């Protein structure tokens, strides 16, 4: 379904070590060339060390493909074993079943296999993945296996691949002889921003994407690079979930909103950014297998709360407006620019006029007539100095001041372009203010989905105003 929606011939962000999708960054290219040269030169022991998810296994598969015509290769990945089990697995992959559990007898069998391959003009290459899990006794036994040689060449070469813990283990005093025999050590570094974009583009190209239009926006690509920390496995997980969510929402291209939603569903909070797990759902809620389902569940869960709280919130707001006198509008007019005051007036007017529980026949000015007038109530002449605009007469300046105070944004800053700049600076008040503008649909077209994204982001950062507005979101977008 996802592949069809984005016109892909294959899933580009899979989890298997498919060499078709191998992207050779500078360090990946250097590591592959070093290992290839080391094998062809008969260096004996070599090693490749990198963080989890950096593509070690895919790189090793590519190496074995390039050597399949000149060497007999064995790939071992079950490393939680002792010397006997490791040697038994090695013989099994060579087509020979071990006879008994005697190490000396198995060594003899291995020696015969090595001599047979040597007569054929092929050397034996043994690759051991996740070698950091090997017990010290097994590593020491591997050192003994490297003694299978002729006066001219090594009959068997071994590549140890593992995580940074492998380097720590090889530095132990009891393994100094093994460390001395490792003649080449290759390392893989995380991708930069540019390399991350090239990596994503490479995988899309292999999957058949035609690039008539970018699949990821530049901002989305920057967020992927930042939160994945340049680790291919993390990049794959983010992009896979982003494509799934984008397909569910019928969105092209993938923008920063989708990436932000995916990052909320994926836990990238590990100390070194090497692990990624799905957050545990609440016990009372059913499991969501995809980010799209998670987003739907969160939205559905808030609907009942918003319906229960909408009437109460609007009632309290109306009571506050009825109980407070209006300030001199000259103060508001002097503190705001004409454009900003007009935008704020239009937004707040539209917000209350759309509320079903607000009486259409009673505006704040009408309500003020039924309550004792404050001494500093502005005259009709002063009130006429407000910037002209629709519904200007139906909203009190006191309400506009409260609106700016609740969102932590001054009236002079209620401007969509300026607010978006403040959102980029992590201002939760700006997010709430923009959400109000999008919900009102006066200054900018109504966009309930955009408003929800902004309110959710501000609410997660602890903005109480955002939590209150979320309660009215469902009603105002019906």
Contacts of 258 (CB under 8 A, 6+ apart): 220, 242, 245, 246, 249, 251
Q: Which of 139, 169, 187 is the last residue of a domain?
A: 187
Q: Which of 187, 216, 235 is the last residue of a domain?
A: 187
Characterize 361-372 residue by residue with b for buried, 16 or more Cβ atoms within 10 angstroms of its Cβ, and e for exposed.
eebbeebbeeee
Short-list 396, 316, 287, 293, CA closest to 348:
396
Q: Do 217 and 348 reside in the same domain of the chain?
A: no
Q: Do 262 and 314 reside in the same domain of the chain?
A: no
- pLDDT value for 444: 60
Q: Do 327 and 422 reside in the same domain of the chain?
A: yes
CATH no. for residue 203? Answer: 1.10.8.60
Q: Which of 187, 219, 245 is the last residue of a domain?
A: 187
Q: Do 261 and 161 reside in the same domain of the chain?
A: no
The answer to whether residue 458 is domain-embedded is yes
- pLDDT value for 229: 94
Range of the domain at 246: 192-279
- pLDDT value for 164: 95
CATH no. for residue 167? Answer: 3.40.50.300
- pLDDT value for 277: 38
Q: Do 215 and 137 reside in the same domain of the chain?
A: no
Q: Which of the residues in the chain have pLDDT under 70?
A: 267-415, 441-445, 473-476, 478
The answer to whether residue 53 is domain-embedded is yes
Q: Do 269 and 322 reside in the same domain of the chain?
A: no
CA dihedral 151, 154, 155, 157 (to 10 degrees): 170
The answer to whether residue 290 is domain-embedded is no
- pLDDT value for 313: 62
The answer to whether residue 408 is domain-embedded is yes
The answer to whether residue 111 is domain-embedded is yes
Q: Do 270 and 164 reside in the same domain of the chain?
A: no
Q: What is the pTM of this model?
A: 0.56
Question: In total, how many domains does the chain have?
Answer: 3
Q: Do 177 and 271 reside in the same domain of the chain?
A: no
Q: Do 437 and 311 reside in the same domain of the chain?
A: yes
The answer to whether residue 156 is domain-embedded is yes
Q: Do 369 and 312 reside in the same domain of the chain?
A: yes
- pLDDT value for 337: 40
The answer to whether residue 459 is domain-embedded is yes
Q: Do 114 and 206 reside in the same domain of the chain?
A: no
The answer to whether residue 472 is domain-embedded is yes
Q: Do 116 and 140 reside in the same domain of the chain?
A: yes
């Amino acid at each position: 379904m996802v592949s069809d929606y984005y016109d892909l011939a294959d899933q580009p962000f899979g989890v298997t070590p498919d060499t078709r999708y191998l992207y050779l960054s500078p360090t990946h290219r250097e590591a592959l060339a070093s290992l290839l040269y080391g094998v062809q030169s008969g260096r004996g022991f070599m090693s490749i060390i990198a963080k989890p998810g950096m593509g070690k296994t895919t790189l090793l598969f590519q190496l074995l493909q390039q050597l399949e015509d000149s060497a007999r290769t064995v790939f071992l990945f079950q490393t939680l074993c002792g010397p006997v089990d490791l040697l038994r697995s090695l013989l099994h992959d060579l087509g020979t079943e071990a006879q008994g559990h005697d190490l000396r007898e198995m060594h003899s069998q291995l020696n015969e296999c090595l001599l047979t391959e040597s007569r054929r003009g092929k050397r034996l290459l043994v690759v051991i993945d996740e070698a950091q899990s090997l017990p010290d006794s097994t590593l020491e036994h591997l050192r003994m296996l490297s003694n299978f040689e002729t006066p001219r060449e090594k009959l068997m070469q071994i590549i140890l691949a593992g995580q940074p813990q492998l380097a720590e283990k090889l530095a132990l005093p009891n393994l100094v002889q093994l460390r001395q025999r490792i003649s080449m050590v290759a390392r893989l570094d995380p991708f930069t921003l540019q390399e991350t974009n090239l990596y994503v583009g490479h995988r899309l190209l292999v999957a058949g994407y035609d690039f008539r239009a970018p699949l990821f926006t530049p901002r989305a690509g920057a967020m992927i690079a930042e939160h994945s920390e340049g680790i291919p496995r993390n990049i794959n997980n983010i992009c896979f979930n982003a494509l799934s969510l984008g397909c569910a929402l019928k969105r092209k291209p993938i923008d920063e909103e989708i990436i932000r939603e995916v990052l909320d569903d994926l836990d990238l909070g590990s100390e070194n950014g090497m692990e990624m797990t799905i957050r545990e759902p609440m016990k009372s809620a059913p499991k969501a297998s995809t980010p799209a389902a998670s987003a739907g569940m969160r939205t559905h869960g808030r609907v009942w709360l918003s319906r229960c709280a909408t009437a109460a919130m609007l009632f309290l707001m109306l009571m506050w407006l009825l109980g407070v006198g209006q300030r001199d509008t000259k103060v508001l007019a002097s503190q705001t620019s004409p454009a900003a005051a007009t935008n704020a007036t239009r937004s707040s007017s539209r917000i209350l006029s759309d509320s079903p529980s607000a009486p259409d026949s009673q505006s704040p000015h009408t309500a003020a007539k039924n309550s004792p007038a404050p001494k500093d109530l502005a005259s009709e002449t002063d009130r006429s100095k407000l910037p002209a605009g629709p519904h200007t007469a139906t909203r009190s300046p006191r309400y506009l001041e409260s609106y700016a105070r609740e969102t932590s944004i001054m009236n002079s800053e209620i401007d969509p372009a300026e607010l978006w700049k403040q959102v980029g600076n992590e201002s939760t008040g700006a997010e709430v203010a923009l959400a109000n503008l999008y919900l009102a649909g006066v200054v900018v077209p109504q966009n309930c989905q955009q408003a929800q994204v902004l309110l959710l982001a501000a609410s997660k950062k602890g903005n109480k105003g955002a939590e209150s507005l979320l309660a009215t979101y469902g009603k105002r977008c019906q």
